Amino acid sequence: MTDLASLAVPFIRLLPPEPAHKLAIKLLALGPFGGKPAADPPSLRINLWGLDFPNPVGLAAGFDKDAEVCDAMLSFGFGFTEAGTVTPRPQPGNPKPRLFRLTEDEAVINRFGFNSKGLAYAAANLAARKGRGGIVGANVGKNRETADDIGDFEQGVTLLAPLVDYVVVNISSPNTPGLRALQRRSTVIALIERLLKARAIAVPQNPPPLIVKIAPDLTEEERADLAEVAVSSGIDGLMIGNTTLARPPELQSRYAHEPGGLSGKPLFQPSTEVLMDMYRLTNGRIPLIGAGGIASGADAYAKIRAGASLVQFYSAMVFRGPGLAATVKSELADLLARDGYATVAEAIGTAVTGKPSPAA
């Protein structure tokens, strides 16, 4: 069934990007097209935060914004999936058009601006699937027009933490004015303090991990500050990273200079460099999730060796369909075996530490 879904991708791509995305969600909501995924090799299993991930390859936020197709996406073999970004109140987001395929560059630019049906809608969907199994996270954000930025995130954590396996705090989208300012040291400390309190109240026993998603466009000073705060604050992990405002000169598409965040292949190298730097700055003391430009098992392996315990992709699926999850996993397992690693965990951060592989 995965092949059937992938075969549909070229036809869906005949539509403009945003209508194509909406059609994909509607089709996936009809049922789990992927069927029951085959069991993953033991080498791909990883236990993190007390959660047993069947494999480290996840679907990034942005595809299933309102938690409408979590189970359908898990059926394609993703080790976990992430709904969102969800805002407290419904909002339409930025004016259309706001999503662009850069086909020549295997990239995407979006300036959605957190279009969301709101917390109540996403919470109802997550509550309806509770107990079905599979690891599902929620990515929370703030409304564009709000008097209390941190209060918006508190609402997201309070309502969704009891319904998911982990919560991501998105303070790094470039498409909501003022959002990235929350990454500043003094502000992010206050944010984390309030959200940890909100989580403790919402889920007093065994609360889900709280992860902060940061941008790939940080200065060296900002990276150092965030690394120090991450290690000392009590959060459970960092996600690196979001889309970038940078425009590499080699981009070929006529949409290359559209405003918004760039994702896909051109983001792979810069996001991996930031990931490696954050692993070095945190001394591997806090789990990292690597996202940005993954389109193959080799890409996933490079992120893991750069310090990621888990990886995510979305943009590559626009061009290759959800069947890419199985391909990435198979290639990753082969690379681990080639280098003599019995588990994913053994390979984490080896490109930073310089530790040779068992097969070296």
Query: Reduced to 3 states, what is the DSSP secondary structure of residue 350?
Result: helix
114 φψ region: left (φ > 0), alpha (ψ -120 to 50), beta (else): left
Element (H, E) at 225: helix 220-233
Q: How far apart are CA 87 and CA 65, in angstroms?
A: 10
Query: Reduced to 3 states, what is the DSSP secondary structure of residue 329?
Result: helix
Q: Which two tokens stand for residue 331?
A: 């290639």
Q: Which two tokens stand for residue 25?
A: 């969600």
pLDDT value for 340: 97
| CA 29 distance to own-chain centroid | 21
Q: How far apart are CA 47 and CA 61, in angstroms?
A: 21
Confirm if 209 and 167 have CB atoms less than 8 A apart.
Answer: yes
Element (H, E) at 289: strand 288-291
Q: pTM for this structure?
A: 0.94
What long-range pairs does 118-122 form, CB within 8 A, spacing at least 24? 118/86, 118/87, 118/88, 118/89, 118/90, 118/91, 119/86, 119/87, 119/88, 119/89, 119/155, 119/156, 119/159, 119/160, 120/159, 121/66, 121/90, 122/66, 122/67, 122/83, 122/84, 122/86, 122/160
pLDDT along the chain (360 residues), means of 10: 60 87 91 75 97 98 97 95 97 96 97 97 96 96 93 97 97 86 88 97 97 93 93 96 94 97 97 97 97 97 98 95 95 98 98 92
Confirm if 46 and 344 have CB atoms less than 8 A apart.
Answer: yes
Catalytic: 309? no
pLDDT value for 33: 64
CA neighbor of 192 nearest in space, from 235, 143, 148, 151 = 235
pLDDT value for 9: 72
**All domains in the chain, ordered by first residue:** 2-353 (3.20.20.70)
Query: Reduced to 3 states, what is the DSSP secondary structure of residue 281?
Result: helix
Q: How far apart are CA 3 and CA 8, in angstroms?
A: 9
Q: How far apart are CA 131 and CA 154, in angstroms?
A: 24
pLDDT value for 90: 98
pLDDT value for 1: 42
The b/e string for 1-33 (b: 16+ C-beta within 10 A; e otherwise) is ebeebbebbeebbeeebbebbeebbeebeeebb
Q: How far apart are CA 111 and CA 118, in angstroms?
A: 18
> Nearest 5°: phi and psi at 255?
-95, 5
Sign of CA dihedral 220, 225, 226, 231: positive
The catalytic residue among 75, 116, 173, 309 is 173
